[in-house]
Amino acid sequence: MIDLHMHTVYSDGELIPAELARRARAAGYMAAAFTDHADHSNIEHILGSLLKIVADYSLYQEIELLAGVELTHVPPALIPDLVKKARDLGAQIVLVHGETIVEPVAAGTNHAAIMAGVDILAHPGLISPQDAAMAAEKNVYLEITTRKGHSLTNGHVLNMAREYNARLVINNDAHSPGDLVTEDVRKKIALGTGMSEQEYFQAEQHSRDILARTRI
């Protein structure tokens, strides 16, 4: 398994990177991305810290690790510049905290993230047809999430992705040890969303594709 959306104590996660890496490996993950919540106030600290450890920890923890960020509650007009800054600082993967229905995310966040060319739009909620089509055009992956609350709109995200040929990935959005679902549970959540077996395996391939892209 690969998961490209996890949080450490550098934002609101419960675990330091070493323990999260170890627990993810024990749960069956071959690769994971640390994508702590970031805005203009902490992005340099998060990436400066994570980039120092992911290479060594990947070697000794037997799990491939990426250092990234999830830009969270950033005003839509400021998202493009912060995406660029994250990449300039060395982020290996950039997510934006999408318009989940369980938080007051600013309208227009999904659109700004897609136009900025993020890697993954996390839990995009009731994403519009226009934004789903744009995500397909710009190769921005839409997230099917196993996390409670955010997962309430997984079915809608799947339907939009199907209709507009947008690419999907499956992520935990892990904040605590209990969020690290097994492969069996991960698949059941995907199938419960309405995915076919083929769509599930395609989403898993998309995670491998993103991982491969970070190595170039």
Kindly list the domain boundaries of the chain, sorted by start residue: 2-214
* Cα–Cα distance for residue pair 25/62, rounded to 1 Å: 7
* Cα–Cα distance for residue pair 99/83, rounded to 1 Å: 17
AA identity, residue 63: I
Structure tokens at 211: 């991982």
Structure tokens at 62: 């037997």
Contact 33, 92 (CB under 8 A): yes
User: Closest by alpha carbon to 178, among 1, 6, 4, 2?
Assistant: 6
The three-state secondary structure class of 171 is strand
pLDDT confidence of residue 166: 98
User: Closest by alpha carbon to 204, among 192, 186, 178?
Assistant: 186
User: Closest by alpha carbon to 24, among 56, 66, 72?
Assistant: 66
Contact 3, 29 (CB under 8 A): yes
Which of 8-12, 100-104, 148-152, 212-216 shows the lowest mean pLDDT across its residues? 212-216
* Cα–Cα distance for residue pair 189/3, rounded to 1 Å: 14
Q: What does the pLDDT look like over 154-194, one tens digit per residue?
A: 999 999 999 999 999 999 999 999 999 999 999 999 999 99
User: Closest by alpha carbon to 46, among 66, 65, 69?
Assistant: 69
C-alpha to C-alpha distances, 187 to 118, 142, 190, 213, nearest whole angstrom: 25, 17, 5, 24
Q: What does the pLDDT look like over 53-69, one tens digit per residue?
A: 998 898 898 999 999 99
The helix (H) or strand (E) run that includes residue 141 is strand 141-145
Q: What does the pLDDT look like over 1-55, one tens digit per residue?
A: 999 999 999 999 999 999 999 999 999 999 999 999 999 999 999 999 999 999 8
Q: What is the CA radius of gyration of the chain?
A: 16
pLDDT at 216 over 80: no
pLDDT confidence of residue 113: 98
User: Closest by alpha carbon to 122, among 162, 90, 151?
Assistant: 151
C-alpha to C-alpha distances, 143 to 9, 46, 48, 91, 200, nearest whole angstrom: 23, 22, 26, 19, 12
CATH topology of domain 2-214: TIM Barrel (3.20.20)
pLDDT confidence of residue 36: 98
pLDDT confidence of residue 134: 98
Report the predicted TM-score, pTM, of the whole model to 2 decimal places: 0.97
